[in-house]
Structures are given as C-alpha cells and as structure tokens.
C-alpha cells in the first residue's frame, strides 16, 4: 500500500544547505511554535543568509510546508526501507513500532512539527493535504496486520478496526508524552508497552515480539570491524555524513595570529560548502563570520590580506557591513518590505586562537580546542608558536585526486617508513615511534647521529644548530601531533608545519599547509629550513604514490581484509574514532543507495552533548 506514495526527493539528502534550513526550522517550531517561527530566527539558527531561504523556499509559508514535507518523507522512507511485509503480521507490526521510535524520527523537535500542523486550525488543511495520504495508508497497513492476526488466531468476535485504532492511539499518546516529558521518556519502555498491548490481544502470536523488544536493530550496535570498509572511501552519501558529523562540528584552521597583527587584517577559509572570514576590527577584536552576504549569499572577501576597507561592501548589490558584522547600508532600501538592518548582520562563527593558530567552527558548541589539546600543550608550548611568522615560499594548496582519509591513514602509521621513505629512515627511522596521548595521536623520532646517505639528510644533520628556547630533548627531535579529524602539526627544531585536508569529493581533496618559524637570521637556520623542505617534499611525493595506489586497490575485488601491525595502531584509532561518530562506518557491506543516512540513525548515531 505504501508504495502508492511517491518516493521522497533525494535532493533533501544531497543538498546540505536546504537541509540546514529545514533542521533550523524544526528547532524553531519546537522552541517558538509555528506563529513564532520567523525567517530571521531560522537563518540565525542555521547560520545562513536570508537569501538562502529566498533561493530555496521564497516565503516563510513555503519554508514551513517544506519542513513538514521533509519529515513526512523521512518517515515514509523509513517505513518503505524498514518493513518487510512478507513476514508474519506480528513481526511486521513490531517493525512498524520500531520505526515510530527510531531515534532520528522520534524526537521532540520533529514531534512538535507534526503536532503544530495537525492541531492548529489554520494549518490543518495543509497538514491533510501533505500528510493525509500517508496517514490513510499507515492506518490501512495497521488494520491489515491486525486482521491477519485475527485470522491466524481464529478470533471472530474481535473488531480489527477498533484494535488497530487502539494501537495507533497508543503510539500517538506516547509521542505526545515524549514531546512534553522528553527528559523522562524511555524509548525501550514505550516499545515494550506497544508490544505488550498486542500480546494481551494475541498471546500466542505476539509473545516472542514482546520478549525480544529490547533487541532492536539500531541499539547496542557493534562494528563488524574496527577498520573502515572500502566503500566508505567512495560513497557520496557517506561523505555528506563526514562533512556534517566530522568537519562542521570540529575546529578548522583559518591561519596564524601573525596574519592578524594590524587592524583590518583578515583571513578567509573555504571548505565543504562553507566560507568564513576572520577579521581584526578597529577595536582590535578578532571576530569570525560566514563569508556570505545576507542578501543573496555573495562572497565578501577573498583570500587574506591587510588594511581592508573600514566597511565590507558586497560586490554584487552593495549591501555594506561594518567590521563588527553589523549591516549599515542597503542601496534602495525603500524597495524592500519590512527590512530590519539589525536582524541582517553577518552571521557570526565560533572562533578560537590556540597556540597562535586561528580556528573557526561551523556547528557551534562542544569542546574548546584548548581543552581538546590540553594533554599535549606542555609538550608544544616551548616552541613558542604564537611568536612565529609564516616562512616565505612554504605554503601550498593542492587539489589531490584521492579521498581525504587515505592521507591520514598513511599519516597515522610509521610501519611504512623503513621501506617507503629512505630519507626519513636515514634521518630518524631507527628511533621513530607512534603513540597516543589521551585521544591525540603523536609520533616522534630523534635525529640519527650516523650521517645519512641522502644529501639533504646528511647536510641537515650536520648544519642543524642548537636553539635556546627548546629543552634538550627537543633539540634534535621531529614531533608530530594529529588533531582529529583532518589536521597535522609537525614540530621541528628550526620551524613548524601545519597542514590539513579538506574533502572536495570522495576522490578529490584539498591538501593545504604552511611552515612557520621564529625570527632567526643565522645562516645555519636558513639552511636547515631549506633542507627540511627538501626532505619533506621527497616524503610527500613518495606518500602521494602510496596513497593513489592504495585508493585504486580499494576498487579491486581482491582488496584484502585489513590486517594491521602493532606499528599501525594509529590507523585503528583513527578509524574507530570515525566509527564512534558515524556508526554506519562499521558495516562491512555497503548499504543500498539512498539509505545510508537513515541506516546511520538506526545504528544509534552518537549524540554529542553540547555544554
């Protein structure tokens, strides 16, 4: 019966900006009700511009209806994918009950949307227009299964329609309870109540379902392997999960504090459909904003630079903002209806300066970078990164033809160094070791005393001078830290390097980095920095060949079951951390196209509690 309903538009899954607006609208309806939900509140919650709403929905009414349509399609999709109607009726009913209490579907915020549209007189017609067909077919499906149970049990005196309505009423009542008493709601207990209702009516057919109700497919999921399966490196839907669950909620490097030394200096960050500006105002405050004009979404600034204008004027239509983000001028303002300047300033972003580096975060909340890096901060502090400057000629931004994770798979293990990197092996390979410090990956090696055969290694070993600011143990040490999910900090005696990956597609990644150093005019230091670059350049070219080869191998039917050396435990930790954030990454067999986001929800997506 449910097949009669048209499948939901797949663009709701692929178009992250549209989904951001829908998610924000769901949140606003939950907090403010339908009448209190405004475009201004939605765009503020979504950290998007009013122009984005205009692009996708035109009006508030269409935005609200689009939100209802979205959760309707999600619910329908779960029923189509999650129910096998060839099973016995008791099993089909259990599946339907499970869908109702799926953690992604059964949430107070989404229940509030259903309730708001169905209960308000002015929106009731819209609700029936959009959801009436789904409601009718859902009721018919409940009735059909109850009729089958009555037939199996040979019970003629039962009224199947009344029993089906009783089950539907119980589900609705439990959803209402969750909406108004969310803190005390027990999802497992709710499922158990529904199954016990069926068991009381059909004890022989439904006793097994009631007894097994806590063994739901999305609960207590254990990964089939603690390594990522090959499909996670090539699946577009999985990449969207990575962007939304790994990249946007985590800190992204925008630059170094030395690039914001003067008033009106600025940095920009671009990645995974987002754009950021970090700017130092005339009051010496450093602020971050979405690099998006609030009118039609145009970019305000490019790259990085100094002495930008005292006001930022959009090159498209001339909307102008001061350096605190306030909208101060709109050409032909009288042609806009009820335009509120105060409500259309630049959308702010979280910004944190850590050890001299400037980071932004697109989904707010969560742990500060300082707290995240606290376990290793004492090891990094002697390098005085906050006093460093960019080293000329060391920056790079390359689009490389492989998945971002493959780069970090290689970064997270030193097992390949003796064979894959002869120069590094000569430099520090005999002492190289990977370790882990309270959630942060760390690798280190001490420069060998025996002269290397490679010219760059040999000269670097000979010319590297002492540094008064470093402890003795760091004088001849190369030290690396990984900042999950996509940053690596390399600390060398004469300079440091910071690089990161930004996924473009499943098979293309921006590889971005730069080196920094303290002011030091010694010729030996200049030579050591030059030789360091040569050694790292050789290493990167070697790694580039390995990365491409490994990614190509993942397409092969003979790709081996992954077996790791004790020297590759960093890879295991990296993969397990991704699985903890995205549980579907623990499934060996690739889920069907269009089901990955829903499957991830059913597997009990990790909830990150925001302070």
The candidate with the shortest Cα–Cα distance to 482, out of 413, 428, 431, is: 413
Confidence check: pLDDT of 217 > 70: no
For CA atoms 236, 240, 246, 248, the dihedral sign is positive
- Rounded to an integer, the average pLDDT of 553-566 is 77
Confidence check: pLDDT of 11 > 70: no
Query: pLDDT higher for 336 or 52?
Result: 336
| Most confident of the following: 184-193, 453-462, 562-571 | 453-462
Q: What pLDDT, on the 0 to 100 scale, is given for residue 434?
A: 87
Confidence check: pLDDT of 468 > 50: yes
| Most confident of the following: 6-15, 76-85, 134-143, 596-605 | 134-143
Helix, strand or coil for residue 393? coil
Helix, strand or coil for residue 608? coil
Ordered domains of the chain (ranges, CATH): 2-211 (1.10.357.10), 224-249+366-611 (3.90.380.10), 251-365 (2.102.10.10)
Confidence check: pLDDT of 554 > 90: no
Query: In the structure, what pLDDT confidence band is assigned to residue 607 with cuts at 50, 70 and 90?
Result: very low
CB 273 within 8 A of CB 17: yes
Residue with tokens 């339907």: 96
The candidate with the shortest Cα–Cα distance to 96, out of 130, 132, 146, is: 146
Helix (H) / strand (E) element for 344: namely none
Confidence check: pLDDT of 220 > 70: no
Helices (runs of H) and strands (runs of E) counted in the chain? 21, 17
Rounded to the nearest integer, the mean pLDDT of the chain is: 86
* CA pair distance 228, 448, nearest whole angstrom: 35
Bridge-based pairing of strands 487-491 and 496-505 is antiparallel
* CA pair distance 525, 409, nearest whole angstrom: 32
Helix, strand or coil for residue 421? coil
Q: What pLDDT, on the 0 to 100 scale, is given for residue 610?
A: 32
- Rounded to an integer, the average pLDDT of 212-237 is 68
CB 93 within 8 A of CB 211: no
Q: What pLDDT, on the 0 to 100 scale, is given for residue 482?
A: 94
* CA pair distance 373, 540, nearest whole angstrom: 26
The candidate with the shortest Cα–Cα distance to 54, out of 44, 67, 65, 39, is: 39
CB 234 within 8 A of CB 507: yes
CB under 8 Å to 172, separation ≥6 — which residues? none
Q: What pLDDT, on the 0 to 100 scale, is given for residue 200?
A: 87
Q: What pLDDT, on the 0 to 100 scale, is given for residue 207?
A: 64
Confidence check: pLDDT of 16 > 70: no
The candidate with the shortest Cα–Cα distance to 175, out of 194, 202, 154, is: 194
- Rounded to an integer, the average pLDDT of 456-461 is 94
* CA pair distance 182, 447, nearest whole angstrom: 58
Query: In the structure, what pLDDT confidence band is assigned to residue 219 with cuts at 50, 70 and 90?
Result: very low
Q: What pLDDT, on the 0 to 100 scale, is given for residue 568?
A: 84
Q: Where are the alpha helices (DSSP H) in 37-123?
A: 39-46, 50-56, 60-82, 89-100, 108-119
Tokens of 10: 């797949």
* CA pair distance 64, 67, nearest whole angstrom: 5
Name the burial class of residue 220, with classes exposed (0-12), middle (13-18) and buried (19+) by CB atoms within 10 angstroms of its CB: exposed
Tokens of 346: 């630049």
Per-residue CA distances from 307 to 243, 264, 324 (Å)? 33, 5, 15
Q: What pLDDT, on the 0 to 100 scale, is given for residue 284?
A: 93
Helix, strand or coil for residue 458? helix
* CA pair distance 464, 90, nearest whole angstrom: 75
Q: Return the percentage of the chain with pLDDT > 90, whole number.
A: 47
- Rounded to an integer, the average pLDDT of 335-353 is 92
CB 79 within 8 A of CB 602: no
Query: In the structure, what pLDDT confidence band is assigned to residue 556 with cuts at 50, 70 and 90?
Result: confident
The candidate with the shortest Cα–Cα distance to 509, out of 366, 407, 370, 385, is: 407
Helix (H) / strand (E) element for 268: namely strand 266-271
pLDDT digits (tens, 9 = 90+) for 477-534: 999 999 999 999 999 999 999 999 999 999 999 999 999 999 999 999 999 999 999 9
DSSP code per residue over 196-254 = HHHHHH-HHHHHHHHHTTT--TTSS---S-SS--GGGGT-HHHHHHHIIIIITTS-EEE
Query: pLDDT higher for 204 or 442?
Result: 442
Q: What pLDDT, on the 0 to 100 scale, is given for residue 123?
A: 84
Confidence check: pLDDT of 191 > 90: no
- Rounded to an integer, the average pLDDT of 223-250 is 90
Q: Return the percentage of the chain with pLDDT > 70, whole number.
A: 92
Residue with tokens 């690099």: 291
Q: What pLDDT, on the 0 to 100 scale, is given for residue 481?
A: 95
Residue with tokens 């000979």: 462
> Bridge-partner residues for 243, per DSSP?
none
Q: What pLDDT, on the 0 to 100 scale, is given for residue 561?
A: 72
Query: In the structure, what pLDDT confidence band is assigned to residue 15 with cuts at 50, 70 and 90?
Result: low
Tokens of 452: 């290397």
Query: In the structure, what pLDDT confidence band is assigned to residue 208 with cuts at 50, 70 and 90?
Result: low
Per-residue CA distances from 372 to 148, 408, 527, 536 (Å)? 56, 19, 35, 27
> Bridge-partner residues for 136, per DSSP?
none
CB 571 within 8 A of CB 564: yes
CB 488 within 8 A of CB 480: yes
Tokens of 340: 């509120």
Query: pLDDT higher for 199 or 209?
Result: 199
Tokens of 447: 């420069």
- Rounded to an integer, the average pLDDT of 370-384 is 94
Tokens of 323: 């350096």
- Rounded to an integer, the average pLDDT of 354-383 is 93
Tokens of 57: 């929905």
pLDDT digits (tens, 9 = 90+) for 41-59: 988 888 788 888 888 888 8
The vertex-37 CA angle with 35 and 43, nearest 5°, equals 160
CB 104 within 8 A of CB 602: yes
The candidate with the shortest Cα–Cα distance to 66, out of 55, 82, 80, is: 55
* CA pair distance 241, 236, nearest whole angstrom: 9
Q: What pLDDT, on the 0 to 100 scale, is given for residue 92?
A: 84
Confidence check: pLDDT of 317 > 80: yes
Q: What pLDDT, on the 0 to 100 scale, is given for residue 216?
A: 39
pLDDT digits (tens, 9 = 90+) for 580-594: 999 999 998 888 888
pLDDT digits (tens, 9 = 90+) for 113-153: 988 888 877 888 888 888 888 888 889 989 998 899 888 88
> Bridge-partner residues for 480, per DSSP?
443, 490
Query: In the structure, what pLDDT confidence band is assigned to residue 606 with cuts at 50, 70 and 90?
Result: very low
Q: What pLDDT, on the 0 to 100 scale, is given for residue 1?
A: 30
Residue with tokens 């925001």: 610
């Amino acid at each position: 019966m449910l097949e009669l309903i048209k499948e939901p538009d797949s663009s709701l899954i692929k178009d992250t900006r549209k989904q951001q607006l829908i998610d924000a609208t769901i949140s606003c309806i939950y907090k403010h009700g339908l009448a209190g939900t405004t475009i201004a509140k939605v765009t503020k919650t979504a950290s998007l511009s009013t122009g984005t709403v205009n692009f996708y929905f035109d009006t508030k009414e269409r935005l609200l209806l689009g939100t209802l349509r979205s959760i309707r399609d999600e619910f329908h999709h779960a029923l189509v994918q999650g129910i096998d109607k060839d099973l016995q009726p008791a099993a089909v009913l259990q599946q339907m009950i499970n869908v109702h209490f799926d953690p992604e579907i059964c949430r107070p915020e989404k229940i509030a949307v259903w309730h708001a549209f169905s209960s308000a007189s002015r929106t009731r017609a819209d609700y029936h227009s959009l959801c009436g067909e789904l409601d009718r077919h859902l009721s018919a499906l409940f009735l059909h299964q109850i009729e089958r149970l009555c037939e199996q049990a040979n019970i003629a005196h039962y009224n199947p329609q009344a029993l089906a309505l009783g089950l539907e009423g119980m589900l609705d009542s439990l959803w209402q309870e969750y909406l108004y008493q969310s803190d005390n709601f027990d999802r497992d207990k709710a499922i158990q109540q529904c199954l016990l209702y069926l068991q009381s009516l059909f004890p022989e057919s439904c006793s097994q379902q009631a007894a097994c109700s806590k063994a739901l497919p999305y609960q207590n999921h254990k990964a089939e392997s603690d390594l990522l399966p090959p499909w996670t490196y090539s699946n577009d839907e999985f990449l969207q999960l990575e962007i939304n669950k790994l990249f946007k909620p985590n800190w992204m490097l925008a630059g170094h504090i030395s690039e914001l030394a003067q008033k009106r200096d600025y940095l920009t960050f671009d990645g995974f459909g987002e754009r950021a500006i970090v700017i130092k105002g005339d009051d010496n405050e450093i602020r971050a904003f979405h690099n998006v004009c609030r009118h039609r979404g145009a970019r305000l600034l490019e790259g990085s630079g100094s002495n930008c204008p005292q006001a930022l004027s959009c090159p498209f239509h001339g909307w102008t903002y001061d350096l605190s983000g306030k909208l101060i001028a709109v050409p032909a303002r009288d042609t806009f209806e009820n335009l509120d300047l105060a409500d259309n300033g630049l959308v702010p972003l979280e910004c944190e300066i850590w050890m001299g580096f400037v980071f932004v975060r697109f989904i707010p909340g969560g742990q500060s970078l300082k707290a995240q890096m606290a376990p290793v901060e004492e090891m990094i502090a002697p390098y005085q990164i906050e006093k460093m400057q960019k080293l000329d000629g060391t920056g790079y931004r390359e689009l490389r033809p492989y998945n971002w994770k493959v780069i970090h798979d290689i970064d997270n293990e030193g097992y390949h160094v003796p064979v894959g990197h002869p120069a590094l092996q000569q430099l520090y390979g005999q002492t190289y070791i990977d370790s882990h410090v309270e959630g942060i990956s760390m690798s280190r090696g001490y420069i060998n005393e025996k002269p290397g055969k490679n010219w760059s290694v040999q000269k670097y070993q000979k010319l590297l001078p002492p540094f008064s600011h470093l402890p003795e143990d760091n004088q001849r040490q190369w030290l690396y830290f990984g900042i999950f999910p996509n940053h690596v900090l390399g600390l060398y005696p004469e300079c440091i390097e910071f690089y990161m990956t930004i996924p473009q597609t499943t098979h293309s990644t921006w590889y971005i980095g730069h080196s920094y150093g303290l002011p030091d005019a010694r010729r030996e230091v200049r030579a050591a920095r030059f030789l360091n670059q040569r050694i790292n350049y050789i290493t990167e070219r070697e790694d580039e060949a390995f990365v491409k080869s490994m990614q190509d191998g993942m397409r092969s039917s003979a790709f081996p079951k992954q077996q790791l050396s004790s020297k590759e435990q960093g890879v295991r930790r990296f993969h397990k951390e991704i699985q903890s954030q995205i549980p579907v990454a623990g499934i060996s067999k690739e889920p069907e196209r269009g089901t990955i986001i829903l499957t991830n929800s059913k597997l009990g997506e990790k909830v990150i509690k925001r302070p």
